[in-house]
Structure 1
């Protein structure tokens, strides 16, 4: 396995918020995530709030591609993760990872989330709430095998996570 920096295998992208005073920027059809929506599920498909194309163009938010982006919270509750399965944008509480699929398997990288979260918390700063910068996220260290091995490991972790989710649902139904 090879030691790499996260910034070498993924583009790290911050988010932004369109002006809430301009109604033309809101209630559009572009997903726009906030950190409170992340961390409960491995995948996210739809955000609570939506922005318009004008809102995207008049803010520092960027459109992130589906199935290539891991949302990573960078403020307050640092290190919550989710894989986006539809295109979307985020507010400034994120330093999201847009992967190069030739270098990294998305579910393999998602599975390393706790390792990267622990590093991020150690590098966080701030007095009101903790935050990690784009530069520090790029420098997070991880060890990765070749892409074929990543895909096998990622597939295994995905199956395990799906089984755990299924068991949790069954447990909740039984409790009811």
Structure 2
């Protein structure tokens, strides 16, 4: 049953995006590493909104010999364990290790920045449904089943995303100003 409220409706994240896990090439095989493919680890996801380059890179061979997958520009990386819920948006194609369940928006159904603005909600959901004895982890299937209230139109998502993007930009400018005035 879908709930509808004034132009918004409840949708499953998996209806709006593909949820993609990551992978790690064998660290014992040198030919898998130091290539030109960005490969992100959860520790690299901090307070930044956008990602342009990873600390470590893998080769085409490393990509092909692991479960890592190339993620398109606009993918929202979502850490799925050991600090569930850190998010960032890819500005350049890349891949991740298995500590992610990345959200690859269907370009006709989900705006990247709009879903990024829902990071706290994504985090709470991941912490609630995640399981594990050593550390809590949320699966791709669990993420795909997350229900969200969404605007019916892509235009409204984009407008909301742009509004929050301009606020985030303004906050960043003020933070820089405060740092230089110290």
Report TM bin, short chain. over 0.9
Provide the C-alpha distance between the structure 1 equivalents of 2:96 and 2:106, rounded to a whole number of angstroms. Answer: 20
- Select the residue among 96, 118, 121 that pairs with 2:124: 118
Q: TM-score, normalising length from structure 1?
A: 0.97
- Write out aligned runs for 1:81-100 (5 A): 81-100=87-106
CA RMSD of aligned residues (A): 0.8
Report how many residues are paired.
174
TM superposition shift of 1:20: 0.4
Unaligned runs of 5+ in 2: 1-7
- Write out aligned runs for 1:37-56 (5 A): 37-56=44-63
Provide the C-alpha distance between the structure 2 equivalents of 1:40 and 1:161, rounded to a whole number of angstroms. Answer: 11
Aligned equivalent of 1:11: 18
TM superposition shift of 1:39: 3.0
TM superposition shift of 1:113: 1.1
- Write out aligned runs for 1:23-172 (5 A): 23-67=30-74, 69-145=75-151, 146-172=153-179
SS in structure 2 of the partner of residue 101 of structure 1: coil
Unaligned runs of 5+ in 1: none
- Runs of 4+ aligned structure 1 residues displaced above 6 Å come to none
Q: TM-score, normalising length from structure 2?
A: 0.94
On the 8 A contact 1:34/1:91 being kept in 2, the answer is: yes
Provide the C-alpha distance between the structure 2 equivalents of 1:107 and 1:39, rounded to a whole number of angstroms. Answer: 17
On the 8 A contact 1:116/1:141 being kept in 2, the answer is: no
On the 8 A contact 1:29/1:51 being kept in 2, the answer is: yes
